[in-house]
Amino acid sequence: MSLDKATVRRIAHLARIEVPDADLDPMVKELTGIMNWIEQLKEVNTDAVAPMTGGTDMTLAWRKDTVSDGAQPEKVLSNAPDKHDHFFSVPKVVE
């Protein structure tokens, strides 16, 4: 698959990335190479391959589901714009 400058400019716009005109030619070559590599991957038969989420068989470590305050109330409230005692203070929204 071959991309042109207009397509790369559109992709950059959609991704909200500013790409100067001087950088469009190298970007066209790079993205075309990536798309060609993806086309190669599509040709690989993966029918007998089970889906994986990682490189090894792992199970998630379980932890107790306990409620805690994080034991760091000063750190949690250090960036609060307004606080009262050990709580966030927020403006009243319902009369």
In order of their start, the domains of the chain are 5-42 (1.10.20)
Q: What percent of the chain has pLDDT over 70?
A: 99
DSSP conformation class of 24: H
User: Are the C-beta atoms of residues 70 and 64 closer than 8 Å to each other?
Assistant: no
Confidence band of 52 (pLDDT split at 50, 70, 90): confident
Phi, psi of 9 (to 5 degrees): -60, -40
pLDDT at 70: 76
Q: Which pLDDT belongs to residue 22? A: 93
pLDDT of 4 reads: 92
pLDDT of residue 36: 94
What number is the average pLDDT over the span 33-59?
86
Phi, psi dihedrals of residue 83, rounded to the nearest 5°: -140, 155
Helix, strand, or coil (residue 62): coil
Question: Is the pLDDT at 68 greater than 90, yes or no?
Answer: no
